[in-house]
Amino acid sequence: MSVADMLTNLTPTPCIVADSVAMRYRVPSTEVTEDNRYPHMKFLRLLNPLPNTVTVNALNEISLVVNRGESVGVIGRNGSGKSTLMQLISGQIRPTSGAIHASSTPIMLGVNAALVPELSGDQNVVLGCLAMGLSHEEIADRFDEIVEVSGLEKSIHLPMKSYSSGMGSRLRFAIAACANPEILLVDEALNTGDAQFAARSKKRMDELRSEAGCVLLVSHSLDTIRQMTTRTIWLDKGDFIMDGPSKDVTKAYTAFTKHLSKGNNISAAKLRAEAQSSLPMVNLLKTTGSAG
């Protein structure tokens, strides 16, 4: 028995393993670039324009292990890669390199577009639930609950394209929330909709969180993060900065943002570099054979 095998037996069972995951986009840019090709034949430039695309590093290489029973907060400024990480884990986008492993299909609660705009709300409920693998009986059981959580009442019978964006995301939340997932991803779902819905969705989320195997929560509210999670990771501009107990990480992050808002970019960058330098590189020793 090798050392790695022995360690495997001791380690808790992981729910999510992100193995050197990175995400890059190539997107078109409207920035004007100097085009000096074909100096004597300008029309050729029109026929063959420069591919005006830029590469965006949404998330640099990151390795992460989330164990069963953990609830992990994800914090960072806008554009730090929080949502990208969530989308990667939920399978909504495919990483440019690396792979995400999960013990079951992660379900993401978040603000999202309409499902099938031509269909009515109730048809979308059934379709969404079937797409998550529920049976007709299970859907019949939960249908009233979903409608109640969504707060749509009579509007549930109208086509989804007639919904306001708030109504659409409420329904989307209610559908995803009915699944009782083992792995729950929450992307600022608490901020959707009016106060009445916020209270209702928070209640449902608390239920889900207590039942789920592990939870990942993206939020800008550090209070929420501290209340609901035990461990927090901090992302900034696609870089993995810090990983540790929620109390420590939110403290470091608060210090960082305070320096930034005062305009002390240098000291903020120093804090960021300090935090990042103490972050150990994670080296995953993958075993696929049966443990022991």
Phi, psi of 12 (to 5 degrees): -70, 165
Residue 266 binds to another protein (criterion: CB under 8 A): yes
Instruction: Tell me whether residue 50 or residue 130 sits nearer to another protein (CB atom).
Output: 130
Phi and psi, residue 166, nearest 5° = -65, -45
Residue nearer to another protein on the CB measure, 172 or 204: 172
Q: Using the rule CB under 8 A, is 258 a contact of another protein?
A: no
Stretch that binds another protein, among 83-91, 147-155, 196-204, 226-234 (CB under 8 A): 83-91
Considering only residues 202 to 231 of the shown chain, the ones binding another protein according to CB under 8 A are none
Number of residues that bind another protein (CB under 8 A): 65
59 near another protein, rule: CB under 8 A:
no
Task: Name residues contacting another protein, limited to 99-158 (CB under 8 A).
Answer: 99-103, 105-106, 112-116, 118-120, 123, 126-128, 130-133, 135-136
> Does 42 engage in binding with another protein (CB under 8 A)?
no
Q: Locate all alpha helices (DSSP H) within 132-264, ordered by sequence.
A: 136-150, 165-177, 195-211, 222-228, 246-261
Q: Which among 81, 152, 86, 80 has a CA at the least distance from the CA of 122?
A: 152
Closest approach of Cβ 137 to another protein, in Å? 11
**Burial (Cβ within 10 Å: 0-12, 13-18, ≥19) of residue 47:** exposed
Q: Which one of 4, 41, 50, 140 is in contact with another protein (CB under 8 A)? A: 4
The radius of gyration computed from the CA coordinates of the chain, to the nearest angstrom, equals: 22
| Closest distance of CB 98 from another protein, Å | 10
Among 41, 50, 54, 269, binds another protein (CB under 8 A): 269
Residues 6+ apart with CB under 8 A from 102: 15, 16, 17, 89, 183
What per-residue string of b and e applies to 122-158 under the rule 16 or more CB within 10 Å gives b? bbbbbebbeebebeeeebeebbeebbebbbbeebbee
User: Minimal distance in Å, beta carbon 71 to another protein?
Assistant: 19
Helix (H, G, I), strand (E, B) or coil at 124: helix
C-beta separation of 143 from 125 below 8 A: yes
In whole angstroms, the minimum distance from the beta carbon of 41 to another protein comes to 26
Which residues have CB under 8 Å from 2's CB, separation 6+? Answer: none
Of 82, 170, 172, 204, the one binding another protein (CB under 8 A) is: 172
Contact between 251 and 236 under an 8 Å Cβ cutoff? The reply is no
Residues 232-251 that bind another protein (CB under 8 A): 237
Residue 165 within binding range of another protein, rule CB under 8 A = no
- Binding-site ranges for another protein (CB under 8 A): 4, 7-8, 11, 13-14, 17, 65, 88-94, 99-103, 105-106, 112-116, 118-120, 123, 126-128, 130-133, 135-136, 159, 172, 237, 265-266, 269-270, 272-273, 276-291
